[in-house]
Amino acid sequence: MARGQDPRRPAAVLVGPPGAGKTTVGRRLARALGVAFADTDEMIEDRTGRACGEVYAELGEEAFRVLEAEVVEAALAGEGILALGGGAVVTPATRELLTRHTVVHLDVSVAEGVRRTARGGHRPILAGADPEARYRELLGRRRPLYDEVADFRVRSDERSPQRVVAQILSFLETDGDDGA
């Protein structure tokens, strides 16, 4: 386990931009490990009774990040696999909390991220006349933060979710065997 991880905490925390596949891969990874899965965006929706994008649009980014950080902190006390919202890493306190966990960065190309986010749900952070330019700018700001917190990075485009899960499982097995 990386960074002196407590075995009662999440086996892995998935971070990455919108459309990277954190929820899809997270559910499959949890199933493969026989553990629970949680997604902080879904936890925010459960807490507020509204879609995450609506909450973001209503509160604005600053207030949303405060709410998100509270949810992330509570979720990190749980077990299993945890997927964080794409922007969770912009909060310094969240990045600090992640230093005590095994973090996997699911990376995706701009073109694939835009394609995936265009087909699903309301994402106000990507709203605008040029979603590709907006996604590229968002990724440019966040990629260094994902890399900062990550113990392992895997591309999720041009690979099936099963292959991504296999790569993460291999990392988790090797990381645990090293006693790191």
d(CA 118, CA 141): 20
Say if residue 142 carries a ligand binding annotation: yes
Say if residue 20 carries a ligand binding annotation: yes
Say if residue 123 carries a ligand binding annotation: yes
Q: Look at the block and give the residue holding tokens 């979603």.
A: 131
Say if residue 12 carries a ligand binding annotation: no
Contacts of 8 (CB under 8 A, 6+ apart): 79
Say if residue 78 carries a ligand binding annotation: no
Say if residue 36 carries a ligand binding annotation: no
Say if residue 99 carries a ligand binding annotation: no
Name beta bridge partners: 3. none
Say if residue 19 carries a ligand binding annotation: yes
Q: Is residue 138 a contact partner of residue 17, using CB atoms and an 8 Å limit? A: yes
Helix (H, G, I), strand (E, B) or coil at 100: coil
- H-only helix segments in 40-160: 40-48, 52-59, 61-75, 92-98, 110-118, 131-149
Say if residue 41 carries a ligand binding annotation: yes
Say if residue 163 carries a ligand binding annotation: no
Phi, psi of 91 (to 5 degrees): -85, 120
Binding residues for Mg(2+): 23
Binding residues: 19-24, 41, 65, 86, 123, 142, 159
Binding residues for ATP: 19-24, 123, 159
Binding residues for substrate: 41, 65, 86, 142
